[in-house]
Amino acid sequence: MITKEYIIEVTTQLYLKNGVKAVTIADISKELSTSKRTIYNHFLDKTDLMQACIEQYLSVIRSSNDEIINTCSSAIEAMGMIHQQILKRADYSNANFYKDILKNYPSVLKDSYVKNSEFAFRELLYLSKWGVKDGLFRKDLDPEVTMATVQTLLKLCNNTKKFPPEQFSKARLTEGIMVTYLRGLCTEKGLLEVEKQKHLYLID
């Protein structure tokens, strides 16, 4: 039996690979080797299915980030691991994945995107306080301002219009944007940790 969860899983992969607009219900049913009726037994329409896929996709990201934070030995290592996952997702995802949704189904993404941004900010806030507690980050940094800036810089690293991939490698952008900013937050102890974990930030 094809379950609702399996439909979401397969559809999400199709969306990430091809973009949302290019994928039809017929494409999904073909990939699942089932009928459209089976899909409509679980979802009202494509928009309903898309909403479920986005929520599941963002939920997986949040779970992955939680696992990283719980297993890493320092805030700087955790930030590097999370950044690495962001870059990998950007490589794996079709550039039209979010563009299609924002253009054609803005209401679908709005609530989920806002909730995910708030969750990401809370995680970064936790990391900043963890770093200060361990003596890696300066005690005088403003956690809210600092981590809101980090969120903006992460988006900048993935801005292919501003930084065309053929001219700017991910390692170059991360070194010039993220690592440079991170060093400015650090104590001497933190700078040593940045050098130790630098390989996490400089993947191509």
Domain ranges of the chain: 4-200
AA identity, residue 194: V
Does CATH number 1.10.357.10 belong to domain 4-200?
A: yes
Q: Read off the pLDDT of each residue in 121-132 and give the average, rounded to a whole number.
A: 92
CA angle 44, 49, 52 (to 5 degrees): 120
Highest mean pLDDT among 48-52, 75-79, 97-101: 75-79
**pLDDT tops 80 at residue 114:** no
pLDDT over 70 percentage in the chain: 96
How far from chain centre, in Å, is Cα 33? 30
Helix (H, G, I), strand (E, B) or coil at 23: coil
Phi-psi region of 110 (alpha: psi -120 to 50; beta: other; left: phi over 0): alpha
Tell which wins on pLDDT, 85 or 1: 85
130 phi-psi bin (left φ>0, alpha ψ -120 to 50, beta other): alpha
Q: What is the mean pLDDT of residues 121-131?
A: 92
Beta strand residue intervals within the chain, DSSP E? none
pLDDT of residue 203: 66
- 98 confidence band (pLDDT: 50, 70, 90): confident
- What mean pLDDT do residues 27-49 have? 93
pLDDT value of position 35: 93
